[in-house]
Amino acid sequence: MDVADEALGGSYWRGIIRQRGKHTEAVIVKQACLLAAMVALAAAAFAQVAAPPKPRITVWTDVKDVPADFAIQGEYLDSAEKPTLGGQVIALGNDTYRLVVLGGGLPGAGWDARTRVELEGKADGDSVAFTSPAGWRATLKGGAILLVDDIGQKFQLSRTTRKSPTEGAAPPPGATVLFDGKSIEAWVNGHMDDRQLLHAGTRTKQSFTDFTLHVEFLTPFKPTARGQERGNSGVYLQDRYEIQILDSFGLKGLDNECGAIYKLAAPKVNMCLPPLTWQTYDIDFTAARYDAEGKKVSDAVVTVKHNGVLIHDKQPLKGPTGGGNREQPDQPVQSGPIQLQGHGNPVFFRNIWIIERR
């Protein structure tokens, strides 16, 4: 059935059209199309009115202004001399939390890379009660967690704060300082805030080939945001290969989360610290090579340490990640700038330096 049939009733109107000739047919068809368009517009308008508004996501970029749930989120360890359990509490907004229990300790510091139990929690006064379908339960109060596992064993976990061992690392002799809180001269359209921090959404004026790069970054606190909306940015090497930045604290460490070579390789371990904690990437990069005929001789290769822990070891890069520039076969040795991706989130950077390998 065509538009006129659908809007005006099918066979009845076809009979009238045959009786009254071509002129009448054209008028009726025109009116039918107009009516159909009006119906479609009305439906669209109704859908817009009926659609629930998106919840407003509040963002905090400074620990001086954070709400109470920020103090609950964080890392916890049992009190044994050699920890048997670690815990990561994620703030999810509206007084809700997730507790991730890890066997052996925290990521990069004892976790056995196997044992992982998730409990969901809700604040009640000055405490948070957690439960899980697996039968684990916990209560968090006063900076400590009382945990009972599925067979009734009890554990006490206390709050702990970790810091990257390379935070504040000074540029060694021969390094080029790209950002030290004093100048944005090295950056295209760079913007520095009143805390002398560099905003995401800029790239270096200079291009680089083979190098060692040190970057410090800070993700915002967005408890009600989820997934890629939660502190998204990235460090693009040569404007081609993205090392993802994201608040993926407490998550599994997938290939689109913090530390991933975006959609190409997941980190060996999720070393993401809580939001509004300074974190580090220490990156060794070797560029792709092409011969005189434009045939690739070798892939780019990258090694990455996240907060001092190895997460990629000589990882080959077959090609650019999403949003990255293409490799240039007419250039025997590839080069390009360092991009700090702007992705709609207030992610900040400091203490960026690079050592070129000649």
- Express each pLDDT in 25-49 by its tens digit: 444 445 555 555 565 655 555 555 5
- Output the pLDDT for position 9: 46
Q: Region 199-204: what's the mean pLDDT? A: 98
- Output the pLDDT for position 348: 98
**Residue 28 carries which DSSP code?**
H
CB 146 within 8 A of CB 130: no
Amino acid 231 reads G
CB 330 within 8 A of CB 319: no
Give me the chain's average pLDDT, please. Answer: 89
- Output the pLDDT for position 265: 98
> Could you tell me which residue, 182 or 81, shows the higher pLDDT?
182
- At residue 171, what are phi and psi to the nearest 5 degrees? -65, 130
At 358, the pLDDT band (50, 70, 90 cuts) reads confident
At 168, the pLDDT band (50, 70, 90 cuts) reads very high
Rg of the chain over Cα atoms, rounded to whole angstroms, equals 28
- Output the pLDDT for position 57: 82
What residue spans define the domains of the chain?
3-50, 63-160, 176-356
Beta bridge partners of 243: 235, 261
Residue 16 has pLDDT above 60, yes or no: no
Short-list 96, 134, 141, 95, CA closest to 118? 134
Share of the chain above pLDDT 70, in %: 84
Q: Region 189-211: what's the mean pLDDT? A: 98
Same fold flag, 63-160 and 176-356: no
On whether the 176-356 domain is CATH 2.60.120.560, my answer is: yes
- Output the pLDDT for position 37: 58
- Output the pLDDT for position 51: 57
Q: Region 224-229: what's the mean pLDDT? A: 88
Q: How big is the chain, counted in residues?
A: 358
Task: Provide CATH code, domain 63-160.
Answer: 2.40.128.50
Task: List pLDDT tens digits, range 142-165.
Answer: 999 999 999 999 999 999 999 999
Share of the chain above pLDDT 90, in %: 80
- Output the pLDDT for position 313: 99
Q: DSSP string covering 150-179, please?
A: TTS-EEEEEEE----TTTTPPPPTTPEEEE
Task: List pLDDT tens digits, range 270-292.
Answer: 999 999 999 999 999 999 999 99
Take residue 175 and report the two structure tokens written for it. 């390094």
At 229, the pLDDT band (50, 70, 90 cuts) reads confident
Q: CB within 8 A of 203, min separation 6: which ones? A: 187, 188, 236, 239, 337, 338, 339, 340
Q: DSSP string covering 113-145, please?
A: SS-EEEEEEEEETTEEEEE-TTS-EEEEETTEE
Alpha carbon distance 265, 247 (integer Å): 18
Record the pTM. Answer: 0.84
Residue 123 has pLDDT above 70, yes or no: yes
For the ranges 30-39, 148-157, 229-238, 326-335, the lowest mean pLDDT is seen at: 30-39
